[in-house]
Amino acid sequence: MDSSDDKAVLALFEGLALSAGSAIMAVFEAGFIYETKADASPVTEADRAAERVILEGLRIALAGVTCVAEEEIAAGAVPVLKGDSILLIDPLDGTKEFINRRKDFTVNIALVRNGTPEIGVVYAPARGLLYSGRPGEATEVSITPDFMPAARRKISVRSAAEPLTIVASRSHRTLETDKFIARFEGADIVSVGSSLKFCLLASGEADLYPRFGRTMEWDTAAGDAVLRAAGGRTTLIDGRPLYYGKRGQVDESDFANPWFIADTSQAAADQRLR
C-alpha cells in the first residue's frame, strides 16, 4: 500500500474505531455475560460486534490488504498473508477491564508495512479519548458522548522525567516485569490496562513501558504505531525493533510477541545504562 494514502487510511481507521466504540458502549451500558475462549481469555458480545463493524469497513475500503483480527483468529480463521502490508485488529483490547467495568478498554486498528506498524488508532470509548498516529504525526482527540471528534492536539514523547514514570499492565503483571521495574529506584509506577500504556508514553505522560509477558500483535500494533509516530520506539530486550507479521515461530504461535520495552529515546538511553 502506497504511503501517499496515509491520511485517508488514518481517517478510515478513526471512523471505524468510533463506530466500533459505539457498539461496545451499547453492550457495556445494557449489561452482558462473557465466555471463555480456548486460550482461557474472556470474550463478550462487545468484542464480536466491534470486530464485525471494523472488518466490514476495512474489507470494503482496503480490499487488497490482509486483515488479521483477534476474534477471527480465535475462531480458527487464520488468513494467508499477501503482500508487504497487513491490518491488525483488536476490537476490544482490555476485555478484563471491560468485564470489571473499568474504563481502560480500547479499540485498536493498525496498518503494518514491511513488519513496521505505521498507521494506528487507539480509541478508549469510556474515556472519550482517541489516539492516532501516522509517520511524522501523532494526535490525541477528544470524543463527544455521541461519538464525534471534538478537540484535536498533536502529541509527542517527552525527554525522560526524573524520576521516570513507568507504566505497567494492571491485569497481566509478571514477576519478570516487576524485577525490571525494581532497577529504577524512585520511579513512579502507573498501572493501566490495554494499549493505553503506549499512549501515555506517546502523549508525554510517561517514559517507559516494559512488557515481560505474552502479548499478541493485535494487542500492540496500534499503540506501537502511535508511539513511533510520536517519536518513541518499541524494541526487543536486545534493542532490535519489535517486528510484526510473525509466522511459523518455533516456540510460539503465529503473531505472538516476544518480551519488549516501549520507551522514549531519552528513557531508552537511561535504562540501557543500568
User: pLDDT tens, 13-63?
Assistant: 999 999 999 999 999 999 887 888 777 687 889 999 999 999 999 999 999
Is 95 annotated as a binding-site member?
yes
Is 251 annotated as a binding-site member?
no
Looking at 154, 183, 206, the residue that finishes a domain is: 154
- The DSSP output letter for 39 is T
Number of domains in the chain: 2
Q: Give the structural domain span for 175.
A: 165-272
Is 175 annotated as a binding-site member?
no
Q: Which amino acid is at 235?
A: T
Assess whether 35 and 91 both reside in one domain.
yes
Take residue 161 and report the three cell numbers written for it. 522525567
Look up the pTM and report it. Answer: 0.94
Assess whether 130 and 16 both reside in one domain.
yes
3-state secondary structure of 139: strand
Take residue 179 and report the three cell numbers written for it. 524485577
- Match 461519538 to its residue by C-alpha cell: 147
d(CA 131, CA 155): 9
Is 94 annotated as a binding-site member?
yes
Whether residue 252 contacts residue 122, with contact meaning beta carbons closer than 8 Å, is answered with no
Instruction: Report the CATH number at residue 72.
Output: 3.30.540.10
Residue 11 lies in a domain: yes
- Averaged pLDDT of the chain: 91
Looking at 129, 154, 179, the residue that finishes a domain is: 154
The predicted structure's pLDDT at residue 272: 56
Assess whether 95 and 124 both reside in one domain.
yes
152-176 average pLDDT score: 86
Task: Say which residues have a Cβ less than 8 Å from residue 95's Cβ, sequence separation at least 6.
Answer: 34, 41, 42, 43, 44, 47, 105
Assess whether 104 and 233 both reside in one domain.
no
Instruction: Put the strands of the sheet holding 233-236 in their side by side order.
Output: 188-192, 165-169, 208-211, 260-263, 233-236
Residue 95 lies in a domain: yes
Report residue 81's pLDDT band, with 50, 70 and 90 as the boundaries.
confident
d(CA 199, CA 155): 10
Residue 159 lies in a domain: no
d(CA 66, CA 62): 9
76-99 average pLDDT score: 91
3-state secondary structure of 94: coil
Assess whether 18 and 78 both reside in one domain.
yes
The predicted structure's pLDDT at residue 211: 93
User: pLDDT tens, 243-272?
Assistant: 999 988 888 889 999 999 999 876 666 665
Instruction: Report the CATH number at residue 191.
Output: 3.40.190.80
Is 81 annotated as a binding-site member?
no
Residue 160 lies in a domain: no
Task: Say which residues have a Cβ less than 8 Å from residue 98's Cβ, sequence separation at least 6.
Answer: 24, 28, 44, 46, 92, 105
Q: Is 205 exposed, middle or buried (0-12, 13-18, 19+ CB in 10 A)?
A: middle
Task: Say which residues have a Cβ less than 8 Å from residue 91's Cβ, sequence separation at least 6.
Answer: 20, 24, 47, 48, 50, 51, 53, 54, 69, 70, 71, 107, 108
Angle at the Cα of 203 (from 234 to 92), degrees rounded to 5? 70
Rounded to 10°, the helix 45-61/6-30 angle is 160
Whether residue 52 contacts residue 19, with contact meaning beta carbons closer than 8 Å, is answered with no
Assess whether 96 and 173 both reside in one domain.
no
Assess whether 63 and 14 both reside in one domain.
yes
Take residue 263 and report the three cell numbers written for it. 520507551
